[in-house]
Structure 1
Amino acid sequence: MIRNAKWIAFILAGILTVCLILPGCTGPSGKSQADSRPRDELIISVGKGAASGGYDPCTGYGIYGYGLFFSSLLRFNADIEVHPDLATGYTVSKDGLTYTYHLREDVKFSDGTPLTAKDVVFTYLTAKSSGSSVDLTVLASAQAVDNKTVVFILHKPWSPFASTTALLGIVPEHAYGREFGDKPVGSGPWKLAQLDKEQQLIVVPNEYYYGTKPSFKKVTILNLEEEAALASAKSGRLDVVMVNPEYSKETVEGMHLVALPTVDNRGFNLPVTPESSRADGKVAGNNVTSDFAIRKALNIGIDRKKIIQNALSGVGTPAYGRVDALPWFNPSTPFKDNQVEEARQILEAAGWKDTDGDSIREKNGLKAEFTITGRTDDLQRYNLAVALSEDAKKLGIHLKAQAAPWTDCKSQALHTPTCWGSGDYNPLDLYNGYYSQMAGVGSNNPSSYSNPQVDAYIDQALAATSMEEAIRYWQLAQWDGKTGINADYPFLWIVNIDHTYFVRDGLDLGKQLLHPHGHGQPVIANMNEWQMQQ
């Protein structure tokens, strides 16, 4: 009987867990949870993975600027400029090697412990040693001069460091340990109430937060597949639900669609070198895309709006570069697309001709065809690959669209173009994407792009001692009137996707920053400012 009782308890617990997630589930009274939920509570779904745990800034959490539990030395304003947050301000030495930050006096972690300069130093040294997604390779030392003053010494001038300090959340030294990522303690507007990994995350206001206090007493973030999330929204279960573009035409009673602009771009790398074998055994380069004429013809010949319509139901804006709409974007570089006749002429002049009537050009016995991939767990990327393949046919270029696991896509990208997602608040993204020495380092510079003049501009941007000076060189790297990234076409950027959400009528999401890459989750960056209108 005891054994049976345990099994019955186990089954009942499972049913209760399912009720937390399935739309329209009712409790013992038969009353819908949506009907009984207080107005000062929210249930949302903002993309798969939002309740996966691992909330540790020192190992990469929050690097796109939407950490729930943490605050940073600086923050980004609506113009993606750095402003004070934990720090009241900072100074940079004339040689660009010393950054000094002065901290606020009124900051406590969610456990009530004061945040001090020692916590900042601990965070940065821990993040540096972890090899996280935050690039701190240039950090030579960090010192707490007193409780409220931190001094960073760099190995060399590195202008993106200020942006980095707006992306790394500060952790408490006293509470940090192996399980910290699942039991986070921070100085941000929210604190952890409950985590059921891969199912749901429940957060409540951090009573010690020094900024705008949340108006909601509890927010439950569900980890749902897209179809389940939409069904749950239609049942009245959700207050905010992220949907991919193919679902944006749906109608959800009591909710309205919000489409938010982003710098969350999608595009395909185009390897610029001929095929060869590397010392590590990997194949790098592509004999077709290494021809400049192919890369230029694709960039100017495709119809981005048509591809966006076919792949993403028209949700998004055409992208021509990696950093469109960001402060360091060079506005003089965008080129026109859908120039079909000009693209065909470029290919003809370069010797790419259809000699056998199969509608695929060839040159010296080499067909103008190659494989492109989209990741199997991201329908948007595969849809873009298919839509691009269809549109490129008019140019006589055959792109074989395939779906593959993301690990395979990345490992083969030096040879096989794949659909990348990019877009963040740090100009270092240009360095990682195009600097010659970054080629093949992790997922960086998958096109093996190299231009000495671009490298020189990037070096000058990195060495700048002010953001204004750095921006000038970042822009020159894209186009200086004669050469640049956007004239060499190492990538085929297609779209800055809109982030689309169904939002409960009456719920105001506040002023959203231009969203970075993040698969829908950046919407929660200002969740402490959300309001339910009466």
Structure 2
Amino acid sequence: MKSKNGKWMISGVLIMCIALLLAGCGGSNPVTTGGKTAKDELVIYIGYGMTSGGYDPCTGYGIYGDGIFHSALLKFNAKIEVEPDLAVNYTISDDGLTYTYTLRDDVKFSDGQSLTADDVAFTYMTAKASGSSVDLTMLEKAEAKDNTTVVFTLNKKWSAFVSTTALLGIVPKHAYGQGYGDNPIGTGPFKVAQLDKEQQLIVVPNDYYYGTKPSFKKITILNLDEEAALAAAKSGNLDVVMVNPEYAYEEVSGMTMESIKTVDNRGFNLPTIPERSDANGNVIGNNVTSDYAVRKALNIGINRKTIIQNALNGIGFPAYGRVDALPWNNTPEFEDGRVEEAKALLEEAGWIDTDGDGIREKDGIKAEFKITGRTDDLQRYNLAVALSEDAKKLGINLMAEAVAWADCKALTRNIPTCWGSGDYNPIDLYNAHYSKMIGVGTSNPASYSNPKVDEYIEKALAATSMEEAIEYWKLSQWDGETGTSVDYPFLWIVNIDHTYFVRDGLSLGEQRIHPHGHGVPVIANMNEWTFEHN
């Protein structure tokens, strides 16, 4: 049974509905080879993202590195290091303003037409003009010098441009236009066979793909309610099922739970300036978190493992910095749960419980403030509640509320909110910590400013190699004396594991550490999935 909006509903005829849907797309049919049963088709559920259409890299599709229809100039390997993909090599000029990429000469789009440098230049200039989530404000122009050479000219030094070239998929100049996002032509391992928006996406191999060929002739991605997806898995109708932490300990016959490590972190910004009004009359700053002692006490005094257990069913591992487990991380892991040390720090700073109500105060200000989680994200609200409960032992009262995401973002420079981040581009550190980003959209929500950190960030952006840039990104977090890892503009809590039930015998290949966004990242290497015989 379908609702009026076209989504499958949970009902007594759920499995019949799914069976009908699968019948319409050919199902997940076993084939016999050499006396052994294997599968040449899969049916999977990875959340809602992949059935909405809009597979256009120029407007942001695949920018977290999980696109399956397009490939990029470079790619990230399992160690999150860049390596060749459509480009065989690249060079950066001494002044850091010119990037030259040499392309492979054997690549074709899924319609059989050859990839050229014109397509690359067209993609970048189109993405720049779109003003979308692909940040190309630093790009002055992209030009094809010949069929296999493309030259990018930047208007400022921006070493993170290399990471962008490992994330932005290339579109064909000859086939790009209205409706492209729902029926893309690309150079990636798959192409769209059928899209029924908000219901299902069917993909098949791109016969012209130059890399590892997919083992399956058809993969159907369904859009289901998570409970419905779990029910379908228990009935044997799905091969991969994304589940959130509240369902991770369910039992599903014939399937095994796979827990994939991530840099999909969650934490709260801690405004570093006292409360005041900005030029537009908005309240910014926070009179409690602006005290360094409070920010440090929270970071060292809470018990992250306890919070993760209470909020996320124990699914995840403690986060201490913004980019844990990425090559440019330099936030030393430290021991938390240091309650007595945190209390002593607060006492020394003048935060004392004078009236015996369990809440410290200083200069007439109570050590209490609101924190928010999104109304449409149970995990973030649960984290806010669990953090609030854990912070009580420190004499700090955090009042957790569920608030619409638009309001969370609008108020965050005054009221800390639960942020999620984690991608393969170190520019995330610039957006979060560079002082000139204060007040630019939702960047730098802690209003954090440290001249030495700014200096390191500027040097990182001016670098002419990834290796040099990474060293400065690391110094911005900790140089032995100062940095974001000891100034505590954020209270990072968890890197959430991404959990999936996987059909026994199905191998998901070597998964990179997942970026932000549970669900879709698992298919980034779907062309490497195989069904193994017992």
The match for 1:118 is 118
Change (3 A) 1:390 1:13: closer
Contact kept in structure 2, 1:117 and 1:146, CA below 8 Å: yes
Q: Which amino acid aligns with 2:230?
A: L
Change (3 A) 1:20 1:304: closer
- Distance apart, 1:15 and its partner CA: 13
Query: SS in structure 1 opposite 2:393?
Result: helix
Query: SS in structure 2 opposite 1:358?
Result: coil
- Show CA shifts across 1:349-407 (max 9, x none): 11111111111111111111111111112111111111101000000111111111211
The match for 1:241 is 241
Change (3 A) 1:197 1:20: farther
Aligned equivalents of 1:12, 1:480: Cα separation in 2? 58
The match for 2:68 is 68
Q: Of residues 16, 22, 25 in structure 1, which corresponds to 2:16?
A: 25
Corresponding position: 1:181 with 2:181: yes
- Distance apart, 1:289 and its partner CA: 0.9
Contact kept in structure 1, 2:505 and 2:532, CA below 8 Å: yes
- Distance apart, 1:281 and its partner CA: 3.3
Query: SS in structure 1 opposite 2:50?
Result: coil
The match for 1:49 is 49
Aligned equivalents of 1:368, 1:87: Cα separation in 2? 55
The match for 1:485 is 484
Query: SS in structure 2 opposite 1:501?
Result: strand
Contact kept in structure 2, 1:123 and 1:173, CA below 8 Å: yes
- Distance apart, 1:20 and its partner CA: 12
Superposition RMSD in Å: 2.2
- Distance apart, 1:195 and its partner CA: 1.4
Q: Which amino acid aligns with 1:368?
A: A
Corresponding position: 1:471 with 2:470: yes
Aligned equivalents of 2:196, 2:147: Cα separation in 1? 36
Contact kept in structure 1, 2:2 and 2:8, CA below 8 Å: no
Q: Which amino acid aligns with 2:16?
A: C
After TM superposition, list the pairs within 5 Å mapping 1:271-420 onto structure 2. Answer: 271-330=271-330, 333-420=332-419
- Distance apart, 1:34 and its partner CA: 6.8
- Show CA shifts across 1:12-41 (max 9, x none): 99899859997421668x999978566211
Listed as ranges, the gaps of 5+ residues in structure 2 are: 32-38
Contact kept in structure 2, 1:34 and 1:236, CA below 8 Å: no
Query: SS in structure 2 opposite 1:503?
Result: strand
Q: Which moved more, 1:339-348 or 1:92-101?
A: 92-101
Q: Which amino acid aligns with 1:495?
A: V
Query: SS in structure 2 opposite 1:258?
Result: strand
- Show CA shifts across 1:303-342 (max 9, x none): 00111111111111100000111111115x3332111001
Aligned equivalents of 1:36, 1:15: Cα separation in 2? 29
Contact kept in structure 2, 1:435 and 1:445, CA below 8 Å: yes
Aligned equivalents of 1:438, 1:14: Cα separation in 2? 44
Contact kept in structure 2, 1:19 and 1:25, CA below 8 Å: no
- Distance apart, 1:225 and its partner CA: 2.4
Aligned equivalents of 1:361, 1:321: Cα separation in 2? 27
Contact kept in structure 2, 1:433 and 1:446, CA below 8 Å: yes
The match for 2:138 is 138
Q: TM-score, normalised by structure 1?
A: 0.94
Listed as ranges, the gaps of 5+ residues in structure 1 are: 1-10
Q: TM-score, normalised by structure 2?
A: 0.94
Aligned equivalents of 2:93, 2:274: Cα separation in 1? 44
Aligned equivalents of 1:481, 1:35: Cα separation in 2? 56
Aligned equivalents of 1:18, 1:309: Cα separation in 2? 32
Query: SS in structure 1 opposite 2:485?
Result: helix
Contact kept in structure 2, 1:248 and 1:500, CA below 8 Å: yes
Contact kept in structure 2, 1:23 and 1:233, CA below 8 Å: no
Contact kept in structure 1, 2:28 and 2:41, CA below 8 Å: no
Contact kept in structure 2, 1:109 and 1:186, CA below 8 Å: yes
Aligned equivalents of 2:118, 2:374: Cα separation in 1? 42
Aligned equivalents of 1:17, 1:481: Cα separation in 2? 54
Q: Which amino acid aligns with 1:375?
A: R
The match for 2:159 is 159
Aligned equivalents of 2:279, 2:23: Cα separation in 1? 65
Change (3 A) 1:279 1:12: closer
Change (3 A) 1:121 1:20: farther
Q: Which moved more, 1:254-263 or 1:194-203?
A: 194-203
Corresponding position: 1:519 with 2:523: no
Contact kept in structure 1, 2:43 and 2:239, CA below 8 Å: yes
- Distance apart, 1:156 and its partner CA: 2.2
Q: Which amino acid aligns with 2:91?
A: T
In percent, how many aligned pairs have the same letter?
70
The match for 2:421 is 422
Corresponding position: 1:215 with 2:215: yes
- Show CA shifts across 1:69-122 (max 9, x none): 110000001111110000011111122111111111111111112111111001
Aligned equivalents of 2:342, 2:515: Cα separation in 1? 32
Corresponding position: 1:460 with 2:459: yes
- Distance apart, 1:178 and its partner CA: 2.8
Q: Which moved more, 1:490-499 or 1:285-294?
A: 285-294
Aligned equivalents of 2:5, 2:338: Cα separation in 1? 58
Q: Which amino acid aligns with 2:291?
A: D
Aligned equivalents of 1:290, 1:506: Cα separation in 2? 53
